[in-house]
Structures are given as structure tokens and as C-alpha cells.
């Protein structure tokens, strides 16, 4: 009997060690601090842009066009609503977050986003959610807001590059596009205000010798810019260590001189986490 007890005693510390190692392997659950409904396909079949509900100065209920391609602590609104404000700033609330922001008026007689979403729509940029972590859930049409990073073990991570000027910068990532057997590398603005797959300056056409014979011509739906543009099917694109191919994906070339744009038609194929605390982008392919 004593021999049996002596044999079992060494097993007990081993069992405890296994229990502890299993506990260490567990990943702590991080729950969102807020869940904000998102109208992604807003009344028009060809527009895929994030629209949220918001309140200005605790009284004016409005639609919010959330455009991550826009920076600055401001919101844009039609000058036809100027009579509603008695100062150059106002409080904007989206979900549980409430911030005082500067007001930027646009002329109501000029083409802009209110032509699509209505006069009672404001535009806010990524700075509204600064120091938060924002997850775009396109499938369930919602935005999840976190105070700390959720589980991203299955995600591809890309470091966000700060554009200029400091404090009012664009949020950029390096990426590459393959088409017609050629590779184009550029820096892309993460732009939920761009209703396209990806947009590049047409300077790449000459540099790479790209054939435009079968290009589709038109105007890109990018913030109402009205710039002339054409699109060409792309083979693949790569962001960080994540690559994807889709025969329906097209790269738009425009006659502007800015950086590339990563639009919503690409982002909707992924779970997108925008870490605006540490400035990282996380992507995970959605299995449709």
C-alpha cells in the first residue's frame, strides 16, 4: 500500500502543471464597449458606404457618413443648416461616444454626399474614433467599438503609416496590385468613403505600360470628386501577408495625383479591425 502511495504522489504535481499550462493558453475575451448599427447599402444598389445614426448638440438627429479617408477634428454639413448653429463647433454623438468638433460647411448647390444620403447628413472622419479600436462587420452591418484589442490571432496585421501633416494625417498602408502580369506597389489610404475596390493615379499606366483597350470609362464615386477615370480588371492584390484574387475586382485609375485608395468594395470581403490606438490594420477573409 505504501508503495502505491509513493507512486501516485509524483503524478499530482504533473497534473497541476498541466492545468496551469492550459489556463495560460486561454485567450481573454474582450467585449466591445459599444455596438453601432451601420447602414451599408443605403437605399441605392450601387452605393456601399457606411452610414450611422448620430445626434448633434443633443437635439438634431442626423445620418452620419463615416469616411475614414477624411481626417481632422471636424464634421461637414450643408450650409442650408447653418442657421441651426450659433458657433463654429458642435457636439456630435455616435453610439456612446460624444465629441466636440469643428464645423465645416459645404455649399448646398454643389454636388456632394448629401445628394446621395440627404440634406440631414454629416460627414465625419476617422478622428472621431481616435484612441479606440473599430471593427467593421460588413456582413451584419454594424461597427464594434473596443477600448482594447480583441482576439486577432486569425488576422493579418499591417502597420498604418501616418500621412502628413502631423495631427491631421491620412491613415495609410502599403499594398500591391497585380494586373496584366505587372506588379504595382503604392501607399493606399484606408477610405470607407471610396465606393470602389482600389483607386490609383493614372501615372502608373505609362510607367508600367498597361493596356487600356478594354477599360471601362466613367467617373469614380469617390467623395463626389467627379474626376474622370477608367477601370481595368486586376488579378490579385496583396496587403501585408494577405493576398486575394477575384475575377470581378477592378482597379480604378484616376487623373488625380494623390495616393492610392483602398475602397469599400475590397474591404467588404474582410473582417476589418482599425486600431486607432496603436495604428494597426487587421484583416481576416470572410468565408462567403
84, 117, 146 — which closes off a domain? 146
Verify that 163 and 279 share a domain, yes or no: yes
146, 164, 186 — which closes off a domain? 146
Residue 208 lies in a domain: yes
124, 146, 168 — which closes off a domain? 146
Which DSSP string do the residues of the chain spell out, in sequence order? -HHHHHHHTTHHHHHHHHHHHHHHHSPPP---SEEEE-B-S-SSTT----EEEEEETTTEEEEEEE-TT--SSEEEEEGGGGGG-SSSEEEEEETTEEEEEEEEEE-TTS--THHHH-SSEEEE-GGGGTTSEEEEETTTTEEEEESS----TTSEEEEPEE-SSTTS--EEEEEEEEETTEEEEEEEEE-TTB-SSEEEETHHHHHHT---TTPEEE---BTT----EEEEE-SEEEETTEEEE-TT-EEEEES--S-EEE-HHHHTTEEEEEETTTTEEEEEE---
Of residues 219 and 183, more confidence is placed in 183
The CATH code of the domain that includes 88 is 2.40.70.10
Predicted local confidence at residue 168, as pLDDT: 61
Q: Domain limits at 83? A: 34-146
Q: Is pLDDT of 13 > 60?
A: no
Residue 6 lies in a domain: no
pTM of the model: 0.84
The number of distinct structural domains making up the chain is: 2
Verify that 129 and 183 share a domain, yes or no: no
Residue 24 lies in a domain: no
Q: What is the pLDDT of the chain when averaged over all its residues? A: 84
Verify that 187 and 262 share a domain, yes or no: yes
Verify that 114 and 186 share a domain, yes or no: no
pLDDT in tens, 129-148: 999 999 999 999 999 999 99
Q: Is pLDDT of 4 > 50?
A: no
Predicted local confidence at residue 110, as pLDDT: 76
pLDDT in tens, 84-134: 999 999 999 999 999 999 999 988 877 777 777 878 899 999 999 999 999
pLDDT cut 90: percent of the chain above it:
57
Q: What is the mean pLDDT of residues 74-85?
A: 92
Residue 200 lies in a domain: yes
Amino acid at each position: 500500500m505504501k508503495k502505491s502511495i509513493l507512486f501516485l504522489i509524483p503524478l499530482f504535481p504533473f497534473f497541476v502543471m498541466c492545468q496551469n499550462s492550459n489556463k495560460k493558453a486561454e485567450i481573454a475575451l474582450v467585449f466591445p464597449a459599444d455596438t453601432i448599427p451601420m447602414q451599408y447599402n443605403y437605399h441605392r444598389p450601387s452605393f456601399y458606404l457606411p452610414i450611422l445614426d448620430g445626434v448633434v448638440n443633443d437635439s438634431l438627429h442626423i445620418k452620419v457618413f463615416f469616411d475614414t479617408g477624411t481626417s481632422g477634428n471636424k464634421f461637414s454639413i450643408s450650409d442650408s443648416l447653418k442657421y441651426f448653429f450659433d458657433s463654429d463647433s458642435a457636439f456630435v454623438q455616435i453610439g456612446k461616444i460624444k465629441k466636440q468638433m469643428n464645423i465645416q460647411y459645404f455649399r448646398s448647390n454643389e454636388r456632394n454626399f448629401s445628394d446621395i444620403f440627404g440634406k440631414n447628413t454629416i460627414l465625419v472622419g476617422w478622428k472621431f474614433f481616435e484612441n479606440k479600436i473599430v471593427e467593421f462587420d460588413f456582413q451584419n452591418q454594424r461597427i464594434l467599438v473596443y477600448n482594447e484589442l480583441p482576439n486577432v490571432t486569425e488576422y493579418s496585421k499591417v502597420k498604418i503609416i501616418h500621412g502628413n501633416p502631423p495631427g491631421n494625417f491620412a491613415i495609410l498602408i502599403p499594398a500591391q496590385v497585380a494586373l496584366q502580369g505587372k506588379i504595382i506597389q503604392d501607399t493606399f489610404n484606408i477610405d470607407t468613403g471610396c465606393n470602389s475596390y482600389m483607386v490609383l493615379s493614372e501615372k502608373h499606366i505609362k510607367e508600367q505600360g498597361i493596356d487600356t483597350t478594354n477599360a471601362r470609362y466613367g467617373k469614380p464615386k469617390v467623395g463626389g470628386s467627379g474626376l474622370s477615370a477608367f477601370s481595368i480588371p486586376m488579378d490579385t492584390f496583396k496587403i501585408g501577408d494577405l493576398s486575394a484574387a477575384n475575377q470581378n475586382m477592378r482597379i480604378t485609375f484616376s487623373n488625380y495625383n494623390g495616393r492610392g485608395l483602398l475602397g469599400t468594395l475590397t474591404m467588404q470581403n474582410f473582417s476589418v479591425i482599425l486600431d486607432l490606438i496603436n495604428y494597426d490594420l487587421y484583416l481576416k477573409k470572410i468565408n462567403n
